[in-house]
Amino acid sequence: MQDEFDAIVVGAGPSGSACALTMARAGLEVLLIERGRFPGEKNVSGGVIYGHILNELVPEFWEEAPIERHINRKIISLLTENSGFSLTFESSNFDTPPYLGFSVLRAKFDRWLAQKAVDAGAILATELLVENVLIESGHVVGVEVGGDKIRSKVVVAADGVLSRISQQAGLRKEIETSEVSLGVKEVLKLPKETIEERFSLTDGSGFANEFIGSFTKNVQGGGFLYSNQDSLSLGIIVQAQSLIDNQQRIVDLLENFKQHSTIAPLIRGATPIEYSAHLIPENGLAMSPKLYSDGILVVGDAAGFVLAAGIILEGNNFAIASGMIAGQAVILAKNENDFSNTSLSRYSKLLEESFVIQDLQTFRNAPSFLSNPRLYSTYPELICGSLERFFYPKGNPRKPLWKVINEEKKGRISFWDIILDGIKGARAW
């Protein structure tokens, strides 16, 4: 392997591979380093890639990418101990490429995207751990791997939420438990025909279902269930500090979720074939490090680019977009042979013009709103309890729904709390 490159990208997840692919296509000499045996080995994702930005990177990607199903049904569900209420949105408009989004299995998808970078000319090096960032006169000039020093004009930190690269370069502090969530996921094997019959899916169509409610036992967070071709992706994502404060174990919360009366029938007969866990940045722009400095850029989860807004959980899209934008900034720097802090600041400016920063800014209040404990017990119980009484009056005269809700809220929540929570929710979403 050569000992000097135009760019070294640390981490072959969606952001790193998108960045490497963008630069390699422009003729830059790029080294893409992955600590796993293969890209995707150490990644966990709920499993949805949205089509618009990926189509910009790889036109008509659906013709070759290892996608599972296109998502044309979105479901939001509230769960109590023994009941559930769901809102479903479905549209045939998302049956035509590039679709709304696709469910993917990251072990397959990440390998495919990294290979696209290799096909464009990047060098992929796996099973390598970057031990140190090389810094000379305040300028990042490469990395140290296994005692070997590999130099480059620029280093791109795509090494995840705990990013050692950006920390060593002095761009960020240590992550606090209040800034991250812990996600656990199981992939459950189930025959394709069973999935399509059970969930009323046509060939190739799929759904994404997010859950919030009692199953997290007052821990801030929620669950998800997504359809793949012949498996289901199921898991929960909970705020790390809230998990500690409530003295819960995430494995117990996952089992509680799987055994819920709403979930158990959906996964009946499924066999676990994969289990994984992952830390997820939660605080958006509030936890973002400095994104650039002399000889270095930070992308994806390492930059805190995840939109955790409860009814919206989006990270893969932001990862791909930020990787592409970082690649564009490096190409401009290469053309001018200037990899200084001033030159690489274009990355930040380009990000501000993209949906990445704009979406994170729009939903910046969501993390604070989601810390409200009433979201996980009071409101699911109020809504489900009211609907149960309204639909099943048990032989009593049926009351108007507003009266039923008013009776159900007594002793649970005041009218003013509902108003205040509604205002906060409107600001968050």
Q: Which phi and psi (to 5°) does residue 16 adopt?
A: -65, -45
pTM attached to this predicted model = 0.93
Where does the chain hold its CATH 3.50.50.60 domain(s)?
4-71+100-177+283-365
pLDDT value, residue 1: 60
Pairing status of strand 4-10 against strand 148-157: parallel
Per-residue pLDDT of the chain (429 residues; tens, 9 = 90+): 667 999 999 999 999 999 999 999 999 999 999 999 999 887 666 578 888 899 999 999 999 999 999 999 999 999 999 999 999 999 888 887 777 789 999 889 999 999 999 999 999 999 999 999 999 999 999 999 988 999 999 999 999 999 999 999 999 988 899 999 999 999 999 999 999 999 999 888 999 999 999 999 999 999 999 999 999 999 999 999 999 999 999 999 999 999 999 999 999 999 999 888 888 898 888 888 999 999 999 999 999 999 877 667 788 899 999 999 999 999 999 999 999 999 999 999 999 999 999 999 998 888 888 889 899 999 999 999 999 989 987 778 888 988 999 999 998 899 899 989 888 888 877
Q: Give CA angle at 343 (342, 346), nearest 5°.
A: 100
Angle between helices 106-119 and 14-25 (to 10 degrees): 20
- Give me the DSSP letters along 263-329: TGGGGTT-EEEEEEEEEEE-SGGGG----EETTEEE-GGGGT--EE-SS-EE-HHHHHHHHHHHHHH
Domain 181-280 is in which class?
Answer: alpha beta
Spatial CA neighbour of 253 closest among 292, 280, 289, 214: 214
Closest alpha carbon to 250 in 229, 280, 273, 292: 280
Report how far apart, in Å, the C-alpha atoms of 80 and of each of 293, 378, 402 are: 48, 9, 20
Query: Which residues make up the CATH 3.30.70 domain(s) of the chain?
Result: 181-280
For 173, other C-beta atoms within 10 Å of its C-beta total 9
Exposure of 136 in the CB half-sphere (CA atoms within 13 A) = 8
Structure tokens at 333: 């720097």
Say how far apart CA 120 and CA 116 lie, in whole Å.
6
Q: What is the pLDDT of residue 49?
A: 86
Q: What is the 3-state secondary structure (H, E, C) of 207-236?
A: EEEEEEEHHHCCCCEEEEEEECCCEEEEEE
pLDDT at 229: 95
Query: What CATH class has 4-71+100-177+283-365?
Result: alpha beta
Identify the CA nearest to 292 among candidates 332, 357, 340.
Answer: 340
**pLDDT at residue 368 in the model:** 81
Whether 235 and 255 have beta carbons less than 8 Å apart is answered as no
- Answer for the pair 71, 208: CB distance below 8 angstroms, yes or no: yes
66 beta partners: none
Asked if residue 380 has a cis previous peptide bond (ω within 30° of 0), the answer is no
Nearest to 188 by CA among 252, 74, 266: 266
Neighbour count for residue 130 (Cβ, 10 Å):
22
Backbone angles phi, psi at 333, to 5 degrees: -65, -40
* 271 contact partners, CB below 8 Å, separation of at least 6: 188, 189, 190
- CB neighbours of 23 closer than 8 A, spacing ≥ 6? 6, 7, 30, 122, 327, 330, 331
The count of other CB atoms within 10 Å of the CB of residue 92 is 8
Q: Which residues contact 345 (CB under 8 A, 6 or more apart)?
A: 292
Listed residue (222, 257, 208) closest to 68, CA to CA: 208
